[in-house]
């Protein structure tokens, strides 16, 4: 069954159920297979495409004006796009923004990412919501030559994200220091010159803006690879440990990450703060379980309720797995909950400064309602160091 077929399509999106969407290709040529998700954010397509949490996924953008502000090096969340591909309603237009240095089309092409425009993204989004995130094959050929049977077969052959440890593919190769703070007019990214707390950040696929938020909260940040051991962490004599965002199945990454976190919790009284995959890693280390969601949460307008205060924060989210709140052990409490579907969005230990959230408080892109969490982390480290 085909939809939106132009006279000569140059790209097509084949779903594992046999549905095929035709459109206009841009970016790189070729073929890729991945899980398909949708993102409802109205801004930040460059940050989304370079978010390491999107490894193994093609992103359908529900907002039609994708590409309208171009791209620039300052907005990359990592060196190159990590999302496998892009699906949009309208073919990107010429950018109009003073910060733009390159068109979205050229940026995608030079970085080997395939995109398709002219798609009925509303229909596609409804299908994802109703049927779950499908496995798909995305192909771009300027000549319009497609072997649909092979594309559908490729989609059906995709292994899926369950059981996949993708953190190892996007983590840093070696440790490094980070001192860049959040963007500020008119000078861009200032440097942290008077840090107050030493933080070791475990990189499961860390976004640059998360590291900037830590620096802006007064942290001297040392980033370690996802495979770091507790001994590696403690060798830096940190005041706190941060667990970053990242892609893939938390249970798979947890095979090596959970023992490290458990040892930190057992052997020290350090404050620990986790985000996204880091939240799921902490939950697993504390004895809870994670589950694959039907279509996940991807957007910049997700309402999350603080269970303790009743405050509702509008947050940025990007996750396809969630912590099962029903499995939280004694001594671990739920702190935040999604108002869209009631899924868990935060936990903390009841007697220690150890907590995590599912959403992205660095808000890149998105609202900044949750930045206070970085300040809370800094306060916990200051309290630990204060004289008795």
Dihedral sign of CA atoms 322, 325, 330, 332 in order: positive
Q: Which of 281, 261, 109 is nearest to 205 (CA)?
A: 281
Is the sign of the CA dihedral 292, 296, 298, 303 positive or negative? negative
**List 77, 276, 295, 319, catalytic entry:** 276
**Angle, CA of 333, 250 and 161, to the nearest 5°:** 140
Is residue 172 annotated as a catalytic residue, yes or no?
no
CB distance 254 to 277 below 8 Å: no
Q: Assess whether 362 carries a catalytic annotation.
A: yes
Task: Give the whole-angstrom CA distance, residue 114 versus residue 105.
Answer: 9
Q: Is 302 in the active site?
A: no
**How far is 50 from 267, CA to CA, in rounded Å?**
36
Under a CB-based contact definition with an 8 Å cutoff, are residues 244 and 209 in contact?
Answer: no
Alpha helices in 132-270 (DSSP H): 148-157, 167-170, 208-216, 230-234, 250-267
Distance CA 282, CA 267 (A): 15
Dump the DSSP string for 94-159: ----TT--B-HHHHHHHTT-EEEES--HHHHHHHHHHH-S-EEEEEE-TT----HHHHHHHHHH--
Q: 175: left (phi > 0), else alpha (psi -120 to 50), else beta?
A: beta
User: Of the residues 47, 77, 313, 362, which is catalytic?
Assistant: 362
CB 322, CB 357: distance < 8 Å: no
Distance separating alpha carbons of residues 41 and 63, to the nearest angstrom: 7
Q: Which residues are catalytic, by number? A: 276, 360, 362
């Amino acid at each position: 069954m085909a939809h939106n077929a132009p006279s000569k399509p140059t790209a097509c999106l084949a779903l594992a159920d046999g549905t095929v969407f035709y459109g206009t290709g841009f970016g790189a040529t070729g073929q890729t297979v991945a899980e398909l998700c949708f993102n409802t954010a109205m801004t930040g397509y460059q940050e989304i495409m370079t978010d390491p949490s999107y490894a193994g996924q093609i992103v359908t953008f529900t907002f039609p004006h994708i590409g309208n502000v171009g791209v620039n090096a300052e907005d990359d969340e990592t060196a190159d796009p990590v999302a496998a591909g892009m699906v949009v309603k309208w073919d990107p237009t010429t950018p109009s923004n003073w910060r733009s240095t390159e068109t979205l089309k050229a940026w995608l092409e030079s970085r080997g990412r395939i995109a398709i425009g002219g798609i009925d993204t509303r229909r596609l989004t409804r299908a994802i919501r109703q049927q779950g995130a499908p496995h798909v094959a995305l192909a771009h050929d300027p000549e319009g030559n497609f072997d649909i049977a092979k594309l559908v077969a490729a989609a059906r052959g995709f292994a899926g994200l369950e059981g996949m440890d993708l953190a190892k593919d996007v983590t840093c190769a070696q440790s490094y220091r980070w001192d860049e703070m959040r963007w500020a007019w008119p000078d861009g990214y200032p440097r942290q010159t008077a840090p107050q707390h030493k933080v070791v950040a475990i990189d499961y696929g860390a976004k640059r803006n998360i590291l900037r938020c830590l620096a802006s909260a007064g942290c001297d940040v040392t980033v370690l690879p996802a495979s770091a051991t507790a001994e590696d962490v403690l060798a830096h004599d940190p005041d706190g440990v941060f667990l970053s965002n990242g892609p893939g199945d938390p249970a798979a990454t947890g095979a090596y990450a959970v023992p490290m976190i458990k040892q930190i919790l057992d052997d020290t009284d350090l404050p620990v703060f986790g985000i996204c995959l880091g939240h799921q890693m902490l939950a697993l280390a504390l004895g809870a379980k994670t589950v694959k969601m039907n279509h996940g949460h991807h957007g910049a307008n997700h309402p999350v309720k603080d269970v303790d205060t009743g405050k509702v924060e509008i947050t940025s989210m990007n996750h396809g797995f969630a912590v099962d709140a029903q499995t939280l052990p004694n001594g671990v409490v739920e702190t935040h909950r999604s108002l869209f579907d009631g899924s868990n969005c935060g936990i903390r230990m009841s007697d220690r400064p150890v907590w995590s959230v599912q959403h992205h408080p660095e808000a890149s892109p998105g609202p900044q309602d949750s930045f206070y969490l970085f300040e809370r982390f800094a306060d916990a480290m200051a309290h630990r160091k204060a004289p008795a």
